[in-house]
Every structure is written in structure tokens, then in C-alpha cells.
Chains A and B, each alone.
Chain A
Amino acid sequence: MTPQKQKQSLETSSLLQDLLKQQNDLTAVERFSKSKEAGALPDQAKYYQDLIPLSTPDKGEQYGFEVDLDACTGCKACVSACHNLNGLDEKETWRSVGHLTGGSEKNPKIFTVTTACHHCLDPACLSGCPTQAYFKDPKTGIVKHLDDQCFGCKYCTLTCPYEVPQYNPSLGIVRKCDMCQDRLNLGEAPSCVQACPNQAIEIKIVKQKEVMENAESKSFLPLAPDPQKTYPTTNYKTKSPFPKNLLPQDYYSIKKSHSHLPLVFMLVLTQLSIGVFTIKWISNFLLQNSLSEKYSLLFTALTFFLGQLAMAASLFHLGRPYYAFRAVIGLRTSWLSREIVAMAIFSFLTFSYAFCFCLNQWTSFFIPKSVFNHLETLTVICGLAALGTSVMVYRATKRDSWNTSLTIWKFYLSAFVTGSSFFLLLLDFFSFYNSEIFFNLMQTRKFLLLAILSGILLKLSIESSILSHLKNRHLNPLKRSALLLIGELKNVFKARICCGLVGGIGIPGILFLMEDSIRIFILLLGSVSFVLILAGELLERYLFFTSEGSDKMPGGFS
């Protein structure tokens, strides 16, 4: 390096240091920083003063959003303004925007539909919440979420037909639009109202009676979820009539829904646990054979353990599992609370049952056989009722693919086939060690094999029956489910059918035909069959959640 170059290099080096330092000095802005008098009316007030009500609602009235579809031109500022002015997390949005398109070649139409919480008259988020973390303000009708009360079960994201409650994984809770209640209280407009350049969003006082009347004629918004479900109060208005062929832009975009894996395991395991207990009871009852006490204890302990496993799985579904005890608070309205309580009772009864055995076995107490019988029957009844509450949890969401009859069949048959298969496996396992434990083993085995065969056959046909909706001309929720099963989810669906066919029909068939075979071989086949059946049921439940395709608010093209 020449001296001159060296000098130059040194100079740039010190310049570089200066510039790097200067780059992060933010004091220059002080020269231009403004601070107006505190307490002044917000600057934007001049625009929004006419967009919020001057008075509070009377009896039979509440606040509601009003969206002028003609004024909205689709800039979507409302979404990001809501995000910024409410300080939401990076990925969190409480407002969303979709499009409805239709009309003729000569006169095509696009409506941009901005949507947030509809502050429903009968909010399904509220009635479904197991912790009473929702509150509908009797004065304003605003449906508010109590963030600190929520334990993140996400059930409201299933009960709300409008995808309003948004789960925030980092906080482990759900949050949602509260119509900027704190702003409204001070006479300030909600952030979306403030931010709309065309003043397309307003807060209006709506008459609850009118909301219900309008819901009767389903005039809420074309192809949106049925307003009868919750009585949404948002009013979408337009001067131009909706074209008859209006469709959401994402109408043909059929995408799988959330899989809720902990729930998949929780449901299948509780059903297995209840199923196996019930099957034992039935076989006792029908075939007059009973397990020896020792095996009975082992058996009940296993059932109890399965129940606990299911409970543990459900904890994974909670964003804040340490508040799980709050689940019982919603008993009055929430089927989820009831399900949790029913499962707990079932679990408690299996535990008591096992406990009584222990008492008899190892202490001087003696509990008479009739008590066992009654306890067993009670446990079975509770278990079956608990299964019923599971059905109701999904029925309460009013989603078509989770309709009552389909769900009843799915859940009870799951219990039936997994229970039968597991019971059979246990029998084979026990008798492998002691062939004399049964009064009539062969009969029981045949009975169970037939139960598995018929159960799976029935279940597979019910599950496949949804494919008949492919013939629907209208793309309704069930057709969407069917399309998912042969489209995005086809491999899972195939795997599910295979598991059922091999594990529930193939292997049980073989076992049924070859009565006198080597026991170890039977045991092996029985295990494979059970694993396949269980896997099949887990896949079925995965599809239960992912192929759910109910109506929603219009989205954008995707």
C-alpha cells in the first residue's frame, strides 16, 4: 500500500465509524417532533362523529356494525388499522376482508365484504365457553372476551360460525374484537370506523327484534353462515341488488380445516376406554361369563389408565392447561363443560370400581358382588352418557358435517369397535397365560369378532356415505367434505379405509375362520388388528376435523 492509499484508507475507516455511529442516532427527529395539548379532541373526530351513535341503546336494542358495501372499494385499511390501533400481535387480525363476485358479462359485480365480530344476539362463543370467558354487555350488546379468564380450549373457534375468535399461540388464549368498547365509551369511533377512507363502516343502534326477523329470511349476506345460528347484528347494506349468481371469491377453494390433534386422541381414547368397559359388561351380561377377579382388576385399571391418557391428551389442547379446573364453570350452558364433567365422573367410577376390587383383595373389607354389578352398570351408563356429551359438543357447533346422526354413529361405533377389539385382545392375552379363565372363551371370541366385523362394516359405510354428496349440484358443506376426502385428504382417507378393512374385516375374518390355531399366532394377529383399528379410528377422527367444510364469511381468492 502506498502511503497515500494508506492515508485514504484510514480516512474512510474513520468516516465509516462516524457514519455507523450516526446511522443509529435518532436525535435528529427531535427538531420535528410535535406534541399537541393533551386532552384535545382526537383529530379524526371530525370524520367519525357522524359514524357512531349519539345515544346509548334502549331496551331491546344494541350496538351493531353497519357496512356500506357500495362505499367500500376494497382497500382493506380497516384490517391493518384494527391491528395497529389495538396493538395486536404480529400475525393477529380481528377484522378480515373477502369478496363476493357475480353478475353478467355486461355487468359484473364485485362486493368487498369487511367483517369482524358480529356481536350476535345469541353468541355461540359465549354459550359454548366452558370457562365463562365471554360476556355480553347487557347495555351495549358488545360481546367481550375476558382474556384472563380464557384457558385456550379454542372451543369458541369451533362454535362461532364466522371465524371471529382468534387463537393466539404465544399467549395461549383466544382474543377477539370488542367493537373498541373502550373507545366507544369515550365517544371515540372503533379503529376500523376511524380508518375507513370512504366511511363505509359505522356503528348503529340495532333493534334486536329486527335482527331476529331478518335472520328468519336469511337476508344477512349471500352464502354466509345461516344467521339463525347466532343472530349476527352486522348490517351489510347496498343500494344495488345482489346478482343472483353471486359467490364468494374463495367459494371453490376447498381447503382442509384445522386437525386439532389433541382432540383426535382425546376423543378416540375416551371412546376406547368407555367402549372396552361397556363391551366387557355386555359380554358378561350376554354370555354369562366373567373374568376372574384378578383379571378384572387389571382390566379396570387399564380402562382407568386409558381414560387418564385421554384426559392428558385433552390438556395438550389447552393454551393454559394449569387453568383446566375452570372447565367446570360453564356447566350451565356449555356442552364442553358437561363433557369434561361426564368424562371425569366416568373416570372416577372406573377408579372406584378398581378401588373396590383392591379393598376386597387386600383388606378385610368385603364388598358384596351385587355392589360390583351395580357399580359396573352405573359406570357403563355414565360412560355412554359421556359419549353423548361428546356428540353434543360437536352438535352444538351447528356445523353440517358434525350433524347429530353422523356424529352419534361415528362416536358410538368407535367405542364399539375399538372396545370390542381391545377386549378381544385382552382376552387372548389373558388366556395365553391361563386358558381356563373363561367359562366359554370360544363363544365370547366369536361374539367379539362378529361385533368387530359388523361394527367396522357399518362404520366404514357410514363414513363413506358422505361421498354420496359428490352428486349434489350445490356445493354445500357436505359436498365440500366429500371433495376434501377425494382431494386434498384422499391419502388419509384411503389409509383410513385400508386400516378399517384390514384390521376390522380382514384379520377378524381370518381369526373367525381358523378357530384352533397356535395361540401366539392368534395373539399376534389380534394385536395387529387392534392397532390397525385404533389407527383407523384416529385417522377417521383426523378426517372428522379436517374435512369439515361448513359455510363461512366470504374470503378472497385463494
Chain B
Amino acid sequence: MGILKKFFHQESGPLTRELLLDPGKFGLGMVPAKSSPDGTTTMVCGYCSVGCGLRIHLKNNEAVNLSPDTDYPVNLGFACPKGWEALTPLKAADRATTPYLRAPDKQLKPIDWNTALNIFTQRFKAIQEKYGTESVAFLSTGQIVMEEMAFLGALAKFGLGMVHGDGNTRQCMATAVVAYKQSFGFDAPPYTYKDFEDSDVIILVGSNLCIAHPILWERICKNPNHPEIIVVDPRMTETAMAATQHYSLLPKSDLTFFYGIARILIEKGWVDHSYIENHTNGFNEFSKHLESFLPERVSKETGISKDKLYQMAETIHKGQKVSFWWTMGVNQSHEGVRLAQSLINLALMTGNMGRPGTGANSITGQCNAMGSRLYSNTTNLLGCHDFLNALDREKVAQILGLDVSRIPQVNSWAYDQIIEGIGAGKIKGLWVIATNTSHSWIHQSFVNECLKELDFLVVQDMYYTTETAQAADLLLPAAGWGEKEGCFINSERRIGRVKKVAKAPGQALSDFNIFRLIAEHWGCGELFKEWISPEHVFQILKRISKGTPADISGIKDYARIDEAGGIQWPYPEGFETREKERRLFEDGRYYTNDYRAKFIFSDPQPMSETPSQEYPFLLLTGRGSSSQWHTQTRTKKSEVLKKLYPQQIYMEMNPEDGQSQGIKPNSWVYVESRRGKIKAKAYLTPTIQPGQIFIPMHYHTTNRLTNPSFDPYSRQPSYKACAVNVRRIEHWEGGEEE
């Protein structure tokens, strides 16, 4: 009877068991039985700079699943969808599993490692012999561990004789670096995430935290003070909507706006004279500079009413703990450095520095942008030293046991200058590591033309399908996050661990191991004989950091970092603390020679391309959703993430503009700038102001439109301002993007 019943009505069986949950072990709660772990380990996520701790569920030391770590001081048990899906892209079918070489028939053909290393060495050496050693350059990344960054920078410059190398971090935080260096004397984001919870006024500028850094928004939600949350952004973003005040100023009127606010603060006497007196320089010159920023003028130029200007100033004044935060809306600007400094100035003049819940705080982009700032050996000599300073060169050479002559005595070109250099025929060989230049660099058609000009392009990446890998002459297959060891440094200066919990496919090797092989093959292996593992390099970096503001010589080893849940710099030798959240400048002493922060300012400059009759709209670009990461080489490999964002490129436009241009919702349009034309789907929404359009950066055609203009101090591209026109497409031409 039972069998018959089961035949007709089967309440359990193999299909039910598929989804069986196992009772929680290790404090995880219930987990799928088929991926029940026999241990866990925590490591830092490999996407953004928030640096969430992910608990990897291990079975025989191999990752079978993950969940956010409840005890990690950054994310406190939560993660965004990218984090939850972090293991999925490792298993993608388009992983590069062997080196590839472009054959005479223009196809990429698999080759073995020895051949690849031979060709790498021969070709680059031949180019250097013919055009000089500086004719081969490299483009690094904010996505690999800092030990690898250091190895890459050291190998390229001290071993292979390159002079020019830069990172994709140029695209995300170069502005903050320069702003901090000039104002504080060192590139030092002063905050800890706890400050989000301690503030009573939180000012977010050019930052769509809810989407770009969802876990930091979580920290704001944990703030018990019912803070005023002010968002300064032309768009009504998700964050603006969740804020208590939104200032939707005209694009690139922000410098004027913050000078206007500063002027009102002075006019009303809402400044902290004692802080200014004791800890800063240049305030008088700054106030003088502000005289012409009358509320009338500022209101006119920014589109924000005088009342609202006063409201903002008053909110700052009334706040006891005011924190200023910025992201790419500030950094990616033609005057980003001054703009970031206008926020630093506000924090300094109101004494909102060094106390819980205060600070002028840059939220970085990539998982290891902060590691790159210290150890990529590109803009700075390893460990934030100076290539131009003989003492610094001497110091680094001595620690590394190098002949000092191997250290270049000149600064490297910035990313845009390297690209220009290729165009001008000065750079003939290029080595691109873990970044997707072909897709992400501003004015895409120009950069792609340049890449074609190269004699030899080497791309080192996890996937053979990235736009840049497809342009490579030689492709080196790299292991990814989760397949190797090392450390990332997050936005709040926290050094966190990355661990090897998955096997790399085929013959893919960690970037670290690739660098070892290249050193060996090039014939400079002797220089790096101490560089045998990431943890060995960590010890070297400790020595290099000694005595600098970012001193980490007190961190014993990887185990200590692991046990502490990440450690923030500085952590000099002899320093002991169990505090998990530390901020800088509590004593009001900055890293300048006189220990005072500087007020730095200059007149706002017009953006290089303004809307005209022919190109009447201003194009803003930025992050589309929390499930997309940059050029999508990884996030598009997850079927789950793919369900969470539009698959086709789209353009946000105000319904008023839609009506005047005859553009219907969801219709295809052409968006055209002076540099290119693309197809996009129209999303009509009042969240964008009339006269502006927004296109997410993740789609591969977006940067055909953008205008190559750069901040003069940081050389960071201004992705968020170029003039375009938008035309409706008369006939349905299918769903393709181009």
C-alpha cells in the first residue's frame, strides 16, 4: 500500500533531497547539505574597496559556498550580491587555461608556458634594444593583492628596466590621492567605517552609496543618532532618495557650490577658529578667495536656491559630528583635486576632523586601490616614497638589496600619457595586468587605435574574452581572487587577507607566480630571490613601510591579520591595540612638515566640453547597479547577477526631454558625441534632470562617447561630462547594441 501511495503521491525522494539543508555548524546556520562545510575561513571580497569579510565554506580545503562574516568589523555579517556570488566567476567557461599567442592568421592560439615566457622576454627585449628601455610600459590594477602589485612594480621597473607604468586606479582615486597629499602631507584617508555610525550629519558628494557601496549604507543605517543625510548629486539616485536632504546641483558646478557653502559658514561665523588656528595653514587666503562666491552667484551657477544653500550651511553648523564623504562624482572630474580639497577645507574650517563621526573621507573604488596607492611602484616609489628623492631611492635600494642605479630617477607617465605615448610612437610594448583598457579607458576609439599601433601587447588576465585580451599578441592566464594568497587594503586603510580556496583552471598561475617566472626567464631572478611567496613579500613591504605614515612594521604576519579581522595602517613596530576601528589625526597633527593641514583652492574652471546646439545634452556616466562591476568581465559570468540588471545598454533621460525629442519609453535611440555614436534603450525617468542623460559605464560602448579631459593635478579622467545628442531611431533594428 505504501509503495502504491508513493507511486502516486511521493512526498519525498531524490529531488527533495537535492535541496536538503544541513543543521548549522560553525555558527553558520543551516546550509545546503550538498555543500555542507568541514571548516570555514574568512577572506576579503575581491570587488570593491569596502572590503567585506566573506566566510568561505570549505570542504577538504576547497570553497564550496560562502556567506558574509558576522564578526568581520567591516560588513558585520552582510554582503552585496556581488559578494554572495564571488565564487561563481571562477568557474566560468571562458577562463584562460593556457597561454595564447596571436598566430599569423590573427587568431589566438594556445601555447605552452615556456614558449610564452620565451616570447615575452625576446619580444620585449628586442623592443627595448631598438627603442630604449622606456619604450616598454605596463598598466597595473587595483584588483590584485598588494604583494603582487609590489612584485609587478619592482620587477617592471628594477628588473625589466621599464620607466613608465600606471594602474587602472588612475581612473578611480588618483584625485583623492593628490588632494590628500597636498592638504595633509600624505595620502591618508582619515576615517574608519564606524564614523558612519557616529556622525550626526553625513554629507555624501557624488556618491551613490546604496548602489556602489551597499554595505557602507548598511553602516549608516546602524547610526543611532538619526543623522541628517545630505546627498549632493545631479541625479536623484537611490541614495538621494533615502537621504534627508538632496542638492541636485548642475553638473560640474560643485566647486562653486562648496566655495559658496564655505563662504556662508564664514559669513555666519560658523567656523572653528581654534582648530583653524592650531592645526591649519592658509585659512586667511582661503577666506579671501571666497569673497566673490556670493550666495546669489553660487545659486545662479549651481541651480540651487539661496535658501537651500543656507540650509546646508546651517545643517553643517548644527552638527556636532559632521562627516564629508565623496566618491567618483568628485574624483572623476576635470577639477577633482580642488573639489576634494573644497570638502577637506569644509571639514578643517568647522573642526570636523579627528573625532568620531567626522572627517573628509574619500571612499575608494577597487578592492585594492589603497594597496596600489602604497605599493604599486607606479606614481610613487614603493611604500609612498619618491622617485625624485635620492634618499628615498637609497633607502628602498638598501632594503631590497638592489643597486640604486636600478631605480628610475624620474617619475612615471600617467595612464593617459602612456596611451598618448603609444599614439606618438614612444611606447612600443605594453603589458596589461588585470584590467580592461579597451573597454574602460575614456575616448575608447582612440585607445583602441593606439593598442593596434603597439609592436607587442601582453595581457595577463583570468579570461581570454575581455576586450583587451582579444587585442593581445600574447595572453598570460592568471589565477583570480580566491585562487591565491595575499592582502588587500580597503578604503578605511584595513589590510585584509585573500586566500587560496579554489584551484585555478588548467595552467593558469597566480600573478605572483607569473612574475616569478618572468623574473627568472628575463635573467633578473637573482634580484628577487627573497620574493618567493606573497607572505615573504609582505615582510619586505613591512620593512619598506617603516617610518612612513603608513607604517605596518608592527603587524607580525598573515596569521595576526587573520586573527584581528584585518588591521588598519598605521601599525608601527611596538604598537599594540585591540581596537578594531581607528581613525587618523585625533591629535590634530598632520603629515606636513609643520604638522598643519593646508587650505588649498583655486578658481573653478569650465568643463572642456559643454552642451551646444549640435550636442544639447550632457552625458553623465557611472555605476548602474550593485550587481555590476566595472567592465563586467566577472559579474557577467554569474547567471544570478545577470538577472539583476538590464542586459542591454540603456540611457536615462528626463520624460520632458523624451517628449520634446519624440522619444518613447523603451525605444531605441542613437546617442552621439563628437567621438562616436552608440545605440541605447531609452529609460525615461524624472530622477535625471532635463538636459542631462545618464549611461552606466558597464556596457562596452559607453566610452565611445566620453571626452578625454583630465584633472591637471591627478590626471584622472573626467568621465562624467561630455556633450551628446540623442536621436530617436525611426525603424526597429533589433536588439543589438551597436
List residues of A whose CB falls within 8 A of some B CB: 8-9, 11-13, 15-16, 19-20, 22-24, 26-36, 38, 40-47, 71, 73-77, 79-81, 83-88, 90-91, 93, 96-97, 101-105, 108-110, 112, 132, 146-150, 171, 173, 175, 180, 182-183, 186, 188, 194-198, 249, 251-254, 325-326, 329, 487, 556-558
How many chain B residues touch A (Cβ–Cβ < 8 Å)?
113
Q: What is the CB-to-nearest-CB distance from B490 to chain A, in angstroms, rounded to a whole number?
A: 17
Q: Decide: A197 and B67 in contact? CB cutoff 8 A.
A: no
Among A16, A32, A42, A148, max chain B CB count under 10 A is at A32
Query: Please, how many angstroms separate the alpha-carbon atoms of A249 and B31 in the complex?
Result: 34
Contact string, B94-128, partner A, CB cutoff 8 A, digits 1/0?
00000000000000000001100100000000000
Q: Decide: A44 and B84 in contact? CB cutoff 8 A.
A: no
Chain B neighbourhood of A79, CB < 8 A? 81, 640, 643-644
Q: List 17 A-B contacts (CB under 8 A).
A: A8-B521, A15-B517, A26-B61, A29-B58, A32-B499, A33-B58, A34-B26, A43-B77, A73-B214, A77-B626, A79-B640, A79-B644, A80-B81, A85-B31, A91-B640, A108-B685, A249-B683
Interface window among B34-42, B195-203, B462-470: B34-42
Known contacts A183-B21, A252-B665: A24-B80 contact under CB 8 Å = no
Chain B neighbourhood of A22, CB < 8 A? 513
B241 within 8 A of A: yes
CB nearest to B650 among chain A residues: A557
Q: What is the CB-to-nearest-CB distance from B607 to chain A, in angstroms, rounded to a whole number?
A: 24
Query: Please, how many angstroms separate the alpha-carbon atoms of A248 and B167 in the complex?
Result: 40
Among A102, A105, A112, max chain B CB count under 10 A is at A105
Query: Please, how many angstroms separate the alpha-carbon atoms of A171 and B34 in the complex?
Result: 16
Known contacts A8-B521, A77-B80: A87-B19 contact under CB 8 Å = yes
Q: Decide: B41 and A33 in contact? CB cutoff 8 A.
A: yes
Known contacts A33-B58, A85-B32, A146-B10: A12-B16 contact under CB 8 Å = no
Q: Nearest 5 pairs between A and B by C-beta? A: A87-B32, A42-B29, A148-B13, A75-B214, A43-B70
Chain A neighbourhood of B564, CB < 8 A? none
Q: Decide: A329 and B9 in contact? CB cutoff 8 A.
A: yes
Not counting A43-B77, A76-B644, A148-B12, a sample of 12 additional A-B residue pairs whose C-beta atoms are within 8 angstroms of each other reads A15-B520, A33-B61, A34-B40, A74-B626, A81-B67, A146-B11, A147-B19, A188-B24, A188-B30, A195-B68, A198-B217, A252-B666
Partner of B646, one of A97, A188, A557: A557
Query: Please, how many angstroms separate the alpha-carbon atoms of A210 and B639 in the complex?
Result: 38
Q: Decide: B687 and A29 in contact? CB cutoff 8 A.
A: no
Q: What is the CB-to-nearest-CB distance from A212 to chain B, in angstroms, rounded to a whole number?
A: 29
Q: Decide: A35 and B25 in contact? CB cutoff 8 A.
A: yes
B147 within 8 A of A: no
Among B62, B503, B520, B664, max chain A CB count under 10 A is at B520
Chain B neighbourhood of A112, CB < 8 A? 238
B79 within 8 A of A: yes
Q: Decide: A108 and B28 in contact? CB cutoff 8 A.
A: no
Q: Decide: A80 and B84 in contact? CB cutoff 8 A.
A: yes
Partner of B30, one of A148, A150, A186, A487: A186
Q: Decide: B238 and A43 in contact? CB cutoff 8 A.
A: no
Chain A neighbourhood of B530, CB < 8 A? none
Q: What is the CB-to-nearest-CB distance from A53 to chain B, in angstroms, rounded to a whole number?
A: 18
Query: Please, how many angstroms separate the alpha-carbon atoms of A558 and B504 in the complex?
Result: 35
Chain A neighbourhood of B641, CB < 8 A? 80
Query: Please, how many angstroms separate the alpha-carbon atoms of A194 and B58 in the complex?
Result: 21
Partner of A42, one of B28, B211, B558, B654: B28
Partner of B627, one of A8, A29, A76: A76
Q: Decide: A182 and B30 in contact? CB cutoff 8 A.
A: yes
In residues 496-531 of chain B, which contact A (Cβ within 8 Å)? 497, 499-504, 507-510, 513, 516-517, 520-521, 523, 525
Query: Please, how many angstroms separate the alpha-carbon atoms of A186 and B221 in the complex?
Result: 28
CB nearest to A254 among chain B residues: B666
Query: Please, how many angstroms separate the alpha-carbon atoms of A35 and B57 in the complex?
Result: 10
Partner of A32, one of B62, B79, B83, B497: B497
B18 within 8 A of A: yes
Known contacts A26-B62, A29-B41: A73-B25 contact under CB 8 Å = no
B236 within 8 A of A: yes
Q: What is the CB-to-nearest-CB distance from B547 to chain A, in angstroms, rounded to a whole number?
A: 30
Q: Decide: B640 and A93 in contact? CB cutoff 8 A.
A: yes
Q: Decide: A75 and B211 in contact? CB cutoff 8 A.
A: yes
Known contacts A81-B84, A171-B18: A93-B28 contact under CB 8 Å = no
Query: Please, how many angstroms separate the alpha-carbon atoms of A23 and B485 in the complex?
Result: 10
In residues 619-647 of chain B, which contact A (Cβ within 8 Å)? 625-627, 639-641, 643-647
List residues of B whose CB falls within 8 A of some A CB: 8-16, 18-19, 21, 23-35, 38-42, 58, 60-62, 65-68, 70-71, 77-81, 83-85, 88, 113-114, 117, 210-211, 214-215, 217-218, 221, 236, 238-239, 241-242, 479, 483, 485, 497, 499-504, 507-510, 513, 516-517, 520-521, 523, 525, 558-559, 562, 625-627, 639-641, 643-648, 650, 654, 656, 664-666, 681, 683, 685-687, 690, 732
Among A96, A132, A198, max chain B CB count under 10 A is at A198
Chain B neighbourhood of A109, CB < 8 A? 241
Q: What is the CB-to-nearest-CB distance from B683 to chain A, in angstroms, rounded to a whole number?
A: 5
Partner of A16, one of B16, B517, B666, B690: B517
Partner of A197, one of B18, B19, B221: B221
CB nearest to A16 among chain B residues: B113
Partner of A12, one of B39, B68, B510, B521: B521
Chain A neighbourhood of B513, CB < 8 A? 19, 22-23
Q: What is the CB-to-nearest-CB distance from A186 to chain B, in angstroms, rounded to a whole number?
A: 7
Q: Decide: A101 and B67 in contact? CB cutoff 8 A.
A: no
Q: Decide: B12 and A19 in contact? CB cutoff 8 A.
A: no
Chain A neighbourhood of B78, CB < 8 A? 77, 195-197
Partner of A80, one of B85, B242, B500, B525: B85
CB nearest to B38 among chain A residues: A35
Chain B neighbourhood of A108, CB < 8 A? 236, 241, 685-687
Chain B neighbourhood of A24, CB < 8 A? 503-504
Q: What is the CB-to-nearest-CB distance from A549 to chain B, in angstroms, rounded to a whole number?
A: 14
CB nearest to A556 among chain B residues: B646
Query: Please, how many angstroms separate the alpha-carbon atoms of A11 and B519 in the complex?
Result: 12
Partner of A146, one of B16, B42, B664: B16
Chain A neighbourhood of B732, CB < 8 A? 487
Query: Please, how many angstroms separate the alpha-carbon atoms of A84 and B60 in the complex?
Result: 19
Query: Please, how many angstroms separate the alpha-carbon atoms of A194 and B55 in the complex?
Result: 15
Chain B neighbourhood of A74, CB < 8 A? 210-211, 238, 625-626
CB nearest to B214 among chain A residues: A75
Q: Decide: B28 and A43 in contact? CB cutoff 8 A.
A: yes
CB nearest to A5 among chain B residues: B523
Q: What is the CB-to-nearest-CB distance from B64 to chain A, in angstroms, rounded to a whole number?
A: 10
Q: What is the CB-to-nearest-CB distance from B706 to chain A, in angstroms, rounded to a whole number?
A: 22
Q: What is the CB-to-nearest-CB distance from B556 to chain A, in angstroms, rounded to a whole number?
A: 14
CB nearest to B118 among chain A residues: A9
Q: Decide: B683 and A32 in contact? CB cutoff 8 A.
A: no
Partner of A556, one of B16, B509, B644: B644
Chain B neighbourhood of A253, CB < 8 A? 666
Query: Please, how many angstroms separate the alpha-carbon atoms of A149 and B71 in the complex?
Result: 41
Q: Decide: A80 and B640 in contact? CB cutoff 8 A.
A: yes
CB nearest to B13 among chain A residues: A148
CB nearest to B561 among chain A residues: A32
Q: What is the CB-to-nearest-CB distance from A291 to chain B, in angstroms, rounded to a whole number?
A: 42
Query: Please, how many angstroms separate the alpha-carbon atoms of A425 and B541 in the complex?
Result: 88
Q: What is the CB-to-nearest-CB distance from B671 to chain A, in angstroms, rounded to a whole number?
A: 16
Query: Please, how many angstroms separate the alpha-carbon atoms of A109 and B238 in the complex?
Result: 9
Partner of B648, one of A23, A97, A558: A558
Q: What is the CB-to-nearest-CB distance from A176 to chain B, in angstroms, rounded to a whole number?
A: 11
Known contacts A183-B29, A558-B648: A71-B221 contact under CB 8 Å = yes
Chain B neighbourhood of A182, CB < 8 A? 21, 30
Chain A neighbourhood of B77, CB < 8 A? 43-44, 47
CB nearest to B78 among chain A residues: A197
Chain A neighbourhood of B28, CB < 8 A? 42-43
Among A19, A104, A132, A325, max chain B CB count under 10 A is at A19
Q: What is the CB-to-nearest-CB distance from A178 to chain B, in angstroms, rounded to a whole number?
A: 9
